[in-house]
Amino acid sequence: MGLGNIWRFPYQVGEQGGAAFLFIYLLLIVMVGFPVILVEFVVGRNTERNPVGALKRIGTGAWTKIGWVFVTAGFIILSYYHLF
């Protein structure tokens, strides 16, 4: 999922007559994406740390591994956009 999810996919669906699906799709993006980004902002501002340090401070065990997954996913996504 990336920028193509926000601009290219809705454009193609709307162009091919999928306006009803497009409305539901955009509604779900707002309903799911907005709370998730708010949680990321709150955790980041509260802990004042990087993703790994923030999740380590919130909990122990699996949270540190989840932080490293975030860092790795961000690196892979940025590498993909750099190549294309």
Rounded CA separation 47/56 (Å): 10
Please compute the mean of the pLDDT values over residues 55-60 and round it to a whole number: 80
Q: pTM to 2 decimals?
A: 0.54
Confidence of residue 83 (pLDDT cuts 50, 70, 90): low
Residue 61 clears pLDDT 80, i.e. is over it: no
Domain residue ranges of the chain, discontinuous segments joined by +: 1-48, 50-84
In percent, how much of the chain has pLDDT > 70? Answer: 89
List alpha helices for 1-84, DSSP H. 3-15, 19-47, 51-58, 62-83
With 0-12 / 13-18 / 19 or more C-beta atoms within 10 angstroms meaning exposed / middle / buried, residue 25 is middle
* For residue 73, pLDDT beyond 80: yes
